[in-house]
Amino acid sequence: MSHVDDITSAGEKSMPMMSRIQQALDAQLQRAAGASAPPRLIAAMRHAVFPGGARIRPQLCLAVAQACGEDAPALTDAAAGAIEMLHCASLVHDDMPCFDDAATRRGQATVHTVFGEPLALLTGDALIILAYQTLARAGAAQPARLAGLLQTISDGVGAPDGIVAGQAWECESRVSLSQYQRAKTGALFVASTCAGAQAAGADPMPWRGLGECLGEAYQVADDIRDVLLHSDQLGKPAGQDAQHGRPSAAHDLGLADAIHLFRRLMQNAIDSVPDCPSRTAMRQIVLRESERLMPQSTCERAVLEGRIASAPAPLQIAA
């Protein structure tokens, strides 16, 4: 694990965030694995969740909660875990033959490839339900915060503007690129930052801009990486946007403009971090994520290959 895979902040607890997330997810899946549960369903759910990717959404949730003076870590863990399970569920469904028909995800065989399509469909459904079961259990100790968390996370997932709606736009004949990106990727980032604040009993609105900028930037980065990188580098099939005719910043704007858009969005994300004791550390998080998603070396290689005219300047953290 590289240093950019584990977010840290000025108010960080003793346990590293990635370890905290992994332990929370493991506990939640163990709870689902009762003696009466179908063994292959539980195995498929674990396959979908472990090993994970960067876990950036739950890390953001935890980081914002800590920046807001986290006082209910069990609720934060539940919110972060629920968000990650909902994200994993969306990946299981996204990989199925009716959508991308992808053979790999996160460097391993996809759920439907290993367990078959019927069980893959049920795996995604089960993870969605487990996410809300997790929130309900933890929220019993903080009932005043539960309704807001449920609304925020549900808005990030369902219609009209959540990730399900984003996926559904791929079934329409026309969609604006920005609308598609805000729903498919951005909505769950907004839910992550806002839920982190709500889990700590803080106002979520100052953190909404960070989620919006990061969400759109991640989708633009995904579009660029789909064009620039190979399948073994991505951990999933490359060239999917062109193959499936999906909206893509790299195709709609051109590679160079898409890279500049990504940098501009990440700079906006840095600038949008609200005043808090760990503001500098939070802005460093965004800076590191920018380099992880779109390394300067990748841009420079694209210049050498003649794919873009010049590499964008590095991001800056203003005083």
| Domains observed in the chain | 13-304 (1.10.600.10)
Tell me the mean pLDDT in the region 170-179.
86
Tell me the mean pLDDT in the region 9-19.
62
Length of the chain: 319
pLDDT value at position 10?
Answer: 38
Asked whether the predicted pLDDT for residue 230 surpasses 70, the reply is: no
Question: Could you tell me if 222 and 193 are in contact, meaning their C-beta atoms sit under 8 angstroms apart?
Answer: no
Q: Tell me the whole-structure pTM to 2 decimals.
A: 0.89
Q: What three-state secondary structure class fits 145? A: helix
Asked whether the predicted pLDDT for residue 25 surpasses 50, the reply is: yes
| pLDDT range class, residue 234, cuts 50, 70, 90 | low
- Model confidence over 187-220: pLDDT tens digits? 999 999 999 999 999 999 999 999 999 999 998 9
- Percent of the chain, pLDDT > 70? 92
pLDDT value at position 51?
Answer: 87
Q: Which residues pair with 297 in a beta bridge?
A: none
| pLDDT range class, residue 2, cuts 50, 70, 90 | very low
pLDDT value at position 14?
Answer: 44
Q: Which residue has the tokens 């399509």?
A: 117
pLDDT value at position 116?
Answer: 98
**174/86 Cα distance (integer angstroms):** 26
Q: Which residue has the tokens 């898409």?
A: 258
Per the model's pLDDT, the better-predicted residue between 103 and 234 turns out to be 103
Please tell me the number of Cα atoms within 13 Å of 175 on its side-chain side.
23
Q: How far is CA 182 from CA 160, 164, 171, 219, 242, in A?
A: 11, 12, 16, 8, 20
Average pLDDT, rounded, for the chain: 89
Segments in the chain forming alpha helices (H): 17-32, 39-49, 56-67, 73-95, 111-115, 117-139, 143-157, 163-168, 177-181, 187-199, 208-228, 231-234, 240-244, 249-253, 255-272, 279-293, 296-304
| pLDDT range class, residue 238, cuts 50, 70, 90 | low
Of 84-88, 243-247, 258-262, the one with minimum mean pLDDT is 243-247
- Model confidence over 289-306: pLDDT tens digits? 888 888 888 888 888 888
Per the model's pLDDT, the better-predicted residue between 44 and 13 turns out to be 44
Question: Could you tell me if 206 and 231 are in contact, meaning their C-beta atoms sit under 8 angstroms apart?
Answer: no
